[in-house]
Every structure is written in C-alpha cells, then in structure tokens.
Amino acid sequence: MTELESFAVALSHEAARVALPFFRGDFAQEDKGGPGAFDPVTEADRAAEAAIRRLIAARYPDHGVIGEEYGEDRPDADHVWVLDPIDGTRAFIAGLPLWTTLIALRQEGAPVIGAVGQPYLDEVFLGGPSGARLLKGGCETPLKTRACPDLGQALIATTDPEIFVGADRAAWDRLRASARLARLGCDGYAYAMVAAGRIDLVAESELKVWDWSAHKPLVEAAGGRFTDWRGAAPHDADGRVLAAGDARLTDQALPLLAVA
C-alpha cells in the first residue's frame, strides 16, 4: 500500500474503535430531517468523525476535509478527505451490521483512494493506486469484480426505492424489471460487494459527495466502472451514481436510467 492508502486504513480503524462500542448499545440520537422525513444522526456518527478529523489534522495539517457531520475545512486543498463516519445510520440504529465508515481522498477534485469499513465484521475494503483488497483478521485478499455481460442475469441493489423521487423512481423500476434479482437496504456495503464480485450493479440517487466518494476508487480498482446516470464521472452537484462490476452492464443500464 502507498502511504496515503495505509493512512486511510488507519482512519477506518480509528472510526471503528470509536463507533463500535455504541453499536447495539444505548446512545443518543436525533432527527435532522424536516417535516415528513426521518434523517437520524447519533453520537456515534459525531464521535467517529471527530476522531478521524483529529488524526488527519495531526498527520496532514495542510489537507482539507469534507465531512457529513462537521462540514468543510479547506475543501480546495490539493488533498481533501471526504468522510461519512457512519453510512447507513438507520441500519446502525436497527442493530444491522450493514452500516459502513466511508473514507475517501480526493486529489484535484477526484477521489483516488477509498476505504469502506464494516467494523462489526472486521472488514476494510480498500481501493486505490495499488489495487483493491479486503483487509480482515490481519489478512489481505485481492478484490475483483465478476463478469456479467447481460443485465438480465445481474444481481442489482439500491438502498431503498422510496428514496427515488419522480422520474428517478420510474428509472429504477425500469432497471429492476430488466435485472434478474434486486437486493435492498445494504447502503454502502452494496458497493463493497460489487468490488468483491458478489453484486453486479448498484444504482442510487439523492446522494451527497460523502455517500459515494469512497466507492468510486474501490469499484474501479477492482475492475468495475463508476459513473453518473449519463455515463460521465460523478460530481458533487448530481447525486445519481451507477456502479457496475462489468462495464457492459453500464452500457445496458444507462438507457433505462435516462431522465430529463
């Protein structure tokens, strides 16, 4: 691993150290959502991001940070860490081990390193310049997406179809009708399974930059393709992303996901 890849893993382990004791325990939580919307945040989210930020400030004080809980600090720096301390807070609250810690490093505005950690399972999925690997129990296992040339044979995923709004929901329904099987409720863990060759495609919308930045280098380092719903590189202003283990699936999915 490169120095910065190793540091991303260290950040993931620090987040795990802080967040894991809260899991399936008693913790404070509040609702950030507006009327009719539930958007939970817990003391574990905030404590984990604070811990990550402390390590970054100590090791790389000139690096910027963009985090879900504490906002932006030097977002125009040459190196910017993008943090989601607990992606899948609803799963965390429900005691389901599908939440993840998402840590990405951006250079020149593009994510180049991504670490997706699941502390309860002792897993860190890492993607970057040195490749893609799973770190678990002191062992490293290379990751590779699987071949799936036909969308009709694909296992696809999204977090919750109810999150899709308007034309995006119709686009998901078209995609779902064309695939073999869909799994729901996996949050960021679904992208790790794309990199591991277990899931073939993930489509989501309404994402923030911290929701997808770690997944792009992970999926691409494992041999997959990561785009927006137009086939271009995702960007901060558009929350629609498409992760495919086999690039041929991207070409089949994009026409189904076309929205005005």
24-49 tens-digit pLDDT: 998 887 777 666 666 778 899 999 99
> CA-CA distance, 177 to 154, in Å (whole number)?
11
Tokens representing 257 are 């996901």
Tokens representing 115 are 């670490």
68 is in an annotated binding site: yes
Residue 260: the pLDDT is 57
Residue (of 157, 188, 163) closest to 82 by Cα position = 188
Residue 238: the pLDDT is 87
Residue 40: the pLDDT is 76
**Is the CB of residue 201 less than 8 Å from the CB of residue 245?**
yes
Residue 73 has pLDDT above 60, yes or no: yes
The average pLDDT across 67-80 equals: 96
Q: Which residue has the higher pLDDT, 185 or 235?
A: 185
84 is in an annotated binding site: yes
Q: Which residue has the higher pLDDT, 244 or 38?
A: 244
238 is in an annotated binding site: no
> CA-CA distance, 58 to 83, in Å (whole number)?
16
Domains of the chain: 1-140 (3.30.540.10), 149-255 (3.40.190.80)
Residue 195 has pLDDT above 80, yes or no: yes
- The least confident of 83-92, 143-152, 185-194, 229-238 is 229-238
Q: What are the distances in angstroms from CA 74 to CA 5, 66, 78, 88?
A: 21, 8, 9, 26
The average pLDDT across 222-226 equals: 98
Instruction: Give the confidence band of 148 by pLDDT, cuts at 50, 70, 90.
Output: very high
Q: What average pLDDT is seen over the chain?
A: 95
Residue (of 131, 102, 109) closest to 220 by Cα position = 131
